[in-house]
Structure 1
Amino acid sequence: MVEDPVDRLLDAVESGKSIIKNRNVLHFTYLPDTILHRTEEQEKITQSLLPILKQSRPSNLLVYGKPGTGKTLVVKKILLKIQQRAEKTKFPIKLIYTNSKEETTLYGLLVSIGRQLGLSEKELPPSGLAISEVFKRLLKSIEENQFNIVFVIDEIDYLAQLVSKTGKDVLYQLTRANERLKKGSLTLVGISNDLTFKERLDPRVISSLSEEEAVFTNYSVNQLKEILQDRIKMAFLDDVVDDSALNLCAAMAGREHGDARRAIDLLRVAGEIAEREQSDKVREEHIRTASQTMEEDKEVTALRSYPLHEKLLIVAVMKASGLSTGEIYSAYKSLCKTIRQKELTQRRVTQMLSEIEMSGIISGKIIHQGIHGRTKKFALTISSDTVKETFKDEATLEDII
């Protein structure tokens, strides 16, 4: 008799055959007691924020580093420990965390801050006010409650892009908020994956935002291996992950600028694949399968999530690879004509190209053309087949794929 595949998997769960004992440890939100290879960075950020425990306002702080280098983890750990100590005093400290990338609008970002300050929908409606009025209400709440706030904006580079000029204005207002506050204080901690972020800012914002800075360097392959070993001890049963699988996982993540989050994700997916196969160990082949699955999933999910005009632009880059912004705009207009869509302005399209570039689906390269100045040329970073396969079932796009 052929064994039912559903019953086989359900029986395995019921009989407790699992090689993973704590899945939470393999999730990126998990906060370990000890953050390896980040002692100096932890000391620097703690020293920067120490004044708040002495009832003084700390300097604004900018934290830099590539994705997966432990920036958010370290900042969250320090804030948690400050909060625990602050609760023993009567000094009203409030720690607020928000991620610019998770908010689609500047208004939404400011409302998210307001909710953490305790403002109701009546005091701060989810839409309808001018940005300046929202900001005024935030400051009023800080002043009335005499809050001393440490306000963390993760992926702060996205805030400057939400509505470029308004976003930068809000950044400026945040960095200078203390000049308007008679009671309470506001310290801004910006976390950025983009090391060139400052170059795009108003000089006034730079001077007031980066009063102090902390730079997180990439992890080496050996450091990634130690981080993984630490997680393996907590997440898996003993002797379940092969040394060769561990080495491969660290090496793969090491190639991608030492990304610890990527390494831990890879280990988690490999563990799940091994478990589904009812394997007693996580082996090299599970790591390789996990890597392939994650790449495909990431690209396909990203492509599907784009609105129509971004998709048209991606197709235009695919068809006109290695061409300048102007040439891609011509290709995009032609595609709009084919599917009877009104094209957007060249300015908006240029903005969209930059946004898509930040997601890693396309890459732009500045080319120097002598007396003709400079131009930016774009190309896909993923295969054309992935784009065609993902878009082929979309009725609007099938004629142009």
Structure 2
Amino acid sequence: MESGKSIIKNRKVLHFSYLPELILHRNEELEKVTQSLSPILKQSRPSNLIVYGKPGTGKTLVIKKILDKIQQRVEKSKFPIKLIYSNAKDEATLYSLFVSIGRQLDLDEDQIPATGLSISEVFKRLLKAIEKNQYNIVFVIDEIDYLAHLISKTGKDVMYQLTRANERLKNGSLTLVGISNDLTFKERLDPRVISSLSEEEIIFTNYSVDQLKEILKERIKEAFAEGTVEDSALNLCAAMAGREHGDARRAIDLLRVAGEIAERAQASKVTEEHIRTASSKIEEDKETTALQSYPLHEKLLIVAVMKASGLSTGEIYSAYKTLCKQIRQKELTQRRVTQMLSEIEMSGIISGKIVHQGIHGRTKKFTLTISPETVKETFKSEATLEDII
């Protein structure tokens, strides 16, 4: 491998966290976000902002680029600005999200311990730190739609207080920027939170196939040795990602995996065949990783849906109870199972469809969206599930 020919000259350019010098086809969005956040450079508080768009439409890229530019200006000014970034998907609870903010405000374990305080107490301490240091904070919550799952009743009140924090701050300020993949996520949040959070909204549209092609061309120039990616492979890569709602991240992932496959085979160029192989591999890996990450009862529910495909929530619950008996596990309540089905549906492993049953009202019926073979293959190595698979 060491002595073999390498066609990839800069791998980090193909990683999703890479911040390119030039963000293509997002001028309008860059301008809107800049206008929204620029008051902080004039020493006043910007409005709270929510940025929407499907995955891979450049939302995080644009926000990070602008924060980067603000940071460069801040270093030259005496106005105390703090830029904080956190991904709600990486946090297990609202408490851990607040701890993440605290750590970025340089609050240590004594000031905000990792566990043990009430959420409202943690929030109070955060405000105290902001006020004491007269910080003007821009707090970015990426994948803010996941907050809907983290928030309990107490959390709803604290989240509301967070969006209205400026009313309690005599010194300093707090601006919230939410990045969401889901246009409907607001329906799951408290209406009071929404009205104070969505002071401004910006929607990122999907990339077209031609735009994806240009984005990929730029990455190829930086990442690959000259002439090592065939035009037909580039076209196919853009077309495949364009078909899946114009996802640039998906297109770049495809290109990276195809490049690795070509390199391992010691091919001199990335071809259409490498792109197709990469597409199958990514899909397979994504499904397997998602299935492995579920706790036991969610895995049992996925098996129940597989065995009772096209059946209602009640029928799936019966199938789930039977599986629990088989492996001697205490079953969860039907209410909790219904909740879990919705959570699994969000990840795309299963799909639910509302069916009208005339005088019997409506019911939701679930089906598996991936092949039963993938489920069996992933779960069969687990001793607990071996027999029921």
The two structures have a TM-score, normalised by structure 2, of 0.98
Match of 2:237 among 246, 249, 252: 249
Query: What is the CA-CA distance between 1:355 and the residue it aligns to?
Result: 1.5
Alignment partner, residue 374 of structure 2: 386
Match of 2:115 among 127, 133, 136: 127
Kept after mapping to 2: 8 A contact 1:94/1:148: yes
Alignment partner, residue 277 of structure 2: 289
Give SS of 1:91's match: coil
Match of 1:99 among 75, 78, 87: 87
Give SS of 1:397's match: helix
Correspondences of 1:234-273 after superposition (within 5 Å) = 234-273=222-261
- Cα distance in 2 for residues equivalent to 1:206 and 1:144: 28
Match of 2:163 among 175, 179, 192: 175
Query: What is the CA-CA distance between 1:307 and the residue it aligns to?
Result: 1.0
Note the alpha carbon deviations across 1:15-35, whole angstroms, 9 max, x for none: xx2111111100000001111
Closer, same or farther: CA 294–84 of 1 in aligned 2, 3 Å: same
Kept after mapping to 2: 8 A contact 1:161/1:167: no
Query: What is the CA-CA distance between 1:167 and the residue it aligns to?
Result: 4.0
Alignment partner, residue 15 of structure 2: 27
Query: What is the CA-CA distance between 1:263 and the residue it aligns to?
Result: 0.3
Give SS of 2:100's match: helix
- Cα distance in 2 for residues equivalent to 1:205 and 1:369: 36
Q: 1:275 and 2:245 equivalent?
A: no
Identity of aligned residues (%): 83
Letter in 1 for 2:278: A
Alignment partner, residue 351 of structure 1: 339
Note the alpha carbon deviations across 1:306-355, whole angstroms, 9 max, x for none: 11111001001111111222221111111101111001111211121121
Kept after mapping to 2: 8 A contact 1:159/1:168: no
Alignment partner, residue 10 of structure 1: 2
Query: What is the CA-CA distance between 1:376 and the residue it aligns to?
Result: 1.9
Alignment partner, residue 190 of structure 2: 202
Closer, same or farther: CA 90–240 of 1 in aligned 2, 3 Å: same
Alignment partner, residue 75 of structure 1: 63
- Cα distance in 2 for residues equivalent to 1:61 and 1:399: 51
- Cα distance in 1 for residues equivalent to 2:358 and 2:170: 55
Q: What value does the CA root-mean-square deviation take over the aligned residues? A: 1.1
Kept after mapping to 2: 8 A contact 1:65/1:192: yes
Alignment partner, residue 375 of structure 1: 363
- Cα distance in 2 for residues equivalent to 1:166 and 1:156: 18
- Matched pairs, number: 389
Note the alpha carbon deviations across 1:107-154, whole angstroms, 9 max, x for none: 111111110011001111111111111111111111111100000000
- Cα distance in 1 for residues equivalent to 2:342 and 2:162: 25
- Cα distance in 2 for residues equivalent to 1:372 and 1:216: 41
- Cα distance in 2 for residues equivalent to 1:268 and 1:378: 34
- Cα distance in 2 for residues equivalent to 1:228 and 1:149: 35
Kept after mapping to 1: 8 A contact 2:89/2:146: yes
Match of 1:300 among 288, 306, 321: 288
| Structure 2 unaligned blocks of 5 or more | none
- Cα distance in 2 for residues equivalent to 1:263 and 1:126: 38
- Cα distance in 2 for residues equivalent to 1:36 and 1:165: 42
Kept after mapping to 2: 8 A contact 1:49/1:58: yes
- Cα distance in 1 for residues equivalent to 2:29 and 2:158: 28
- Cα distance in 1 for residues equivalent to 2:16 and 2:388: 39
Kept after mapping to 2: 8 A contact 1:95/1:149: yes
Query: What is the CA-CA distance between 1:164 and the residue it aligns to?
Result: 4.2
Query: What is the CA-CA distance between 1:168 and the residue it aligns to?
Result: 3.2
- Cα distance in 2 for residues equivalent to 1:313 and 1:77: 41
Kept after mapping to 2: 8 A contact 1:160/1:171: no
Alignment partner, residue 51 of structure 1: 39
Give SS of 1:10's match: coil
Kept after mapping to 2: 8 A contact 1:99/1:156: yes
Name whichever of 365-374 and 293-302 sits farther off.
365-374
Kept after mapping to 1: 8 A contact 2:119/2:155: no
Kept after mapping to 2: 8 A contact 1:269/1:290: yes
Letter in 2 for 1:286: H
Query: What is the CA-CA distance between 1:226 and the residue it aligns to?
Result: 0.7
Give SS of 2:386's match: coil
Match of 2:147 among 135, 141, 159: 159
| Structure 1 unaligned blocks of 5 or more | 1-8
Letter in 2 for 1:57: R
Kept after mapping to 1: 8 A contact 2:212/2:251: yes
Note the alpha carbon deviations across 1:2-24, whole angstroms, 9 max, x for none: xxxxxxx2322xxxx21111111
- Cα distance in 1 for residues equivalent to 2:247 and 2:335: 34
